[in-house]
Structure 1
Amino acid sequence: MAPTVTAVLTRPQGRNEALEQALLQRGIPSLILPALQLEAIDFFDEFHHHPANYDLIVFVSSTAVSCYLEALRLRSITWPEGLCAASVGAASASALYRYPGLSPGLIIHPDESDPDQDSEALWKQLELRKMKFRRVLIVRGQQGREWLSSRFADENASVERVTVYQRVPAFWTDQQSIALQHALSGDSCVFLLTSSESVCAMMQNIVRLGMEKSWAKLRFVAIHERIAERLQSELLALGLPQATMLFRSSPGIDSMCNAIVDAARAN
């Protein structure tokens, strides 16, 4: 009899459905259990955030893209001619390609095949293009690394940062905890981890629900090495064993699906 394995998808609400369908086609059911809630912020200031003030706008996530572009749409602001847009991942760039007036040739991001969809991968693309910018706006959530800001500053660029959304830890309901307990009663669960913040929020729920003992049989897929490291450090801080079934993927649907399938089938 085939083992019963459930994929636990912890991305924010509305970001799990395509992966859920892909996994179902591979014979793996999913439990959608967002670890974080994303809340948009009323951020726009004409002087600091108008796109005409910059020659490059960098987006750190798909949520950053959607929040900023929606602010432009509400104010009927068109994308300035010649303004470049960059994102740290190929998936985050998809909405940029659909935005009116933004030429595809002005959009910069890591190739979809690059396993490292992050700031470092984006910087490599900028270096390959030998692109230099004087005025840069970085669009992000309420917490973020300063690595890109430092790189642009090293190139004597003027850098502005804007917070367009905040991440709030999700509080799993009784119904969600029952669904998770049911999933844990099977042979195994594979947790998808897509941010360091979601790891911490997930662990808070697990501890609150008293499910730490179940983690010995859990498997994990992390979309970045930093996320995998955060998981191990959180487990260590709680006195729990380090995760041995820990797999890596990139943020693309196919890559995440394949990694979860590999994790589910691993001995």
Structure 2
Amino acid sequence: MPDPVVITRPAAQAAALAQRVAAAGHEAVVFPLLAIDPLPDQSALRAALADVSPYALVAFVSPNAIDAACAIRSEWPREVTLAVVGEGSRAALARHGITDANATIVSPANTRRTDSQTLLETLDLDRLRGGRALIVRGETGRELLGDALRSAGMQVQQLAAYRRSIPLLDDDRRRQLLRLLDADSLWIITSSEALRGLIGMATQAGGRDCVVKLQQKRLLVPHERIEETARELGFSSVALTGSGDEALLAALQFRG
């Protein structure tokens, strides 16, 4: 039996990658580290998306934001720039039929650091100055993008579309986590918040001994910021792959 490859994305986003990992000959284990839930009141988001023509820019901070917005609106006028921060978000747009062929999409050129800062470096801020921007995001998150767009002279509206939380470590998940910690498992980590939550789960499951076992695991991470978080949390075997499933799978095959 091959060593398990642990996919830690939210449950709704993990299945496709798990299938590809299994097809490549690995044991794919889905162990979500974040739960994504819609906000009970979507009225503000629905009102904003009813007519997007006043916006020069609509930015989505994650695939979850895209899924929430596209559940409300399926077509996006080409004159409104859609901004995303990674290849996973481009893929999410494509799943909803939104591509460069029918929309104006901007994403960071540096696929190893796909975050708000590198998105800002890609945007034509001079052209956008004076216009309106809508940021579709989670209930909590970094303020860098909104603050930077305001500094560039844009009027910024931020709307929450979902909330993130660390799943409860019930008895079944605790047993699964302990099995994975005892195995020679490799972990795909796509969120700094999720990795911090995993440290908390290991502590809850077995204290310091479990945390030490976890810190010895191999990690594949798509962004520099997650790599930095992993190093700060005591992980020593961390491979930076770049953004998107293709980069993750290529790194997985290389590591064997």
TM beyond 0.5: yes
- Alignment match, 2:173: 176
Q: Specify whether residues 22 and 80 from structure 1 end up closer, same or farther in structure 2 by C-alpha distance, changes over 3 A only.
A: closer
**Does the Cα contact within 8 Å between 1:79 and 1:102 map onto a contact in 2?**
no
- Alignment match, 1:253: 245
- Alignment match, 2:34: 36
- Alignment match, 2:198: 202
Q: Report deviation, 1:82.
A: 2.2
Q: Specify whether residues 166 and 132 from structure 1 end up closer, same or farther in structure 2 by C-alpha distance, changes over 3 A only.
A: same
Per mean C-alpha deviation after superposition, the further-off stretch among 215-224 and 31-40 is 215-224
- Counterpart check, 1:24 vs 2:16: no
- Alignment match, 1:58: 59
Per mean C-alpha deviation after superposition, the further-off stretch among 247-256 and 170-179 is 170-179
Q: Structure 2: state its 5+ residue gaps.
A: none
In structure 1, what residue type is equivalent to 2:218?
R
- Counterpart check, 1:10 vs 2:2: no
Q: Specify whether residues 182 and 94 from structure 1 end up closer, same or farther in structure 2 by C-alpha distance, changes over 3 A only.
A: closer
Q: Specify whether residues 224 and 100 from structure 1 end up closer, same or farther in structure 2 by C-alpha distance, changes over 3 A only.
A: closer
Q: Report deviation, 1:139.
A: 0.7
Per mean C-alpha deviation after superposition, the further-off stretch among 89-98 and 15-24 is 89-98
CA distance in 1 between counterparts of 2:77 and 2:20 reads 38
Q: Report deviation, 1:88.
A: 1.2
User: How many residues were matched structurally?
Assistant: 248
CA distance in 2 between counterparts of 1:61 and 1:88 reads 7
Q: Specify whether residues 72 and 131 from structure 1 end up closer, same or farther in structure 2 by C-alpha distance, changes over 3 A only.
A: same
Q: Specify whether residues 171 and 54 from structure 1 end up closer, same or farther in structure 2 by C-alpha distance, changes over 3 A only.
A: same
Identity fraction in percent: 25
- Alignment match, 1:238: none
CA distance in 2 between counterparts of 1:262 and 1:109 reads 27
Q: Specify whether residues 213 and 118 from structure 1 end up closer, same or farther in structure 2 by C-alpha distance, changes over 3 A only.
A: closer
Q: Structure 1: state its 5+ residue gaps.
A: 236-241
CA distance in 2 between counterparts of 1:216 and 1:100 reads 39
In the TM superposition, what are the counterparts of 1:40-189 in structure 2 within 5 Å? 40-41=38-39, 42-45=41-44, 48=48, 50=50, 51-72=52-73, 79-80=76-77, 82-97=79-94, 98-99=96-97, 104-110=102-108, 114-127=111-124, 131-133=127-129, 134-186=131-183, 188-189=184-185
**Does the Cα contact within 8 Å between 2:78 and 2:103 map onto a contact in 1?**
no
CA distance in 2 between counterparts of 1:18 and 1:101 reads 19
In structure 1, what residue type is equivalent to 2:202?
I
CA distance in 2 between counterparts of 1:192 and 1:100 reads 27
**Does the Cα contact within 8 Å between 2:86 and 2:114 map onto a contact in 1?**
yes
- Alignment match, 1:230: 229
Question: Relative contact order: is structure 1 or structure 2 higher (C-alpha 8 Å, sep ≥ 6)?
Answer: 1
Per mean C-alpha deviation after superposition, the further-off stretch among 160-169 and 89-98 is 89-98
CA distance in 2 between counterparts of 1:101 and 1:219 reads 34
Alignment deviations for residues 74-121 of structure 1 (CA, whole Å, 9 cap, x no partner): xxxx6456222111123313343545799634222235x732222233
- Say what the alpha-carbon RMSD is for the aligned residues: 2.7
Q: Specify whether residues 27 and 154 from structure 1 end up closer, same or farther in structure 2 by C-alpha distance, changes over 3 A only.
A: same
Per mean C-alpha deviation after superposition, the further-off stretch among 55-64 and 97-106 is 97-106
Give the TM-score normalised by structure 1: 0.81
SS at structure 2 position matched to 1:152: helix
Alignment deviations for residues 154-211 of structure 1 (CA, whole Å, 9 cap, x no partner): 221111111111101111332233233333333x111111112111221121111012
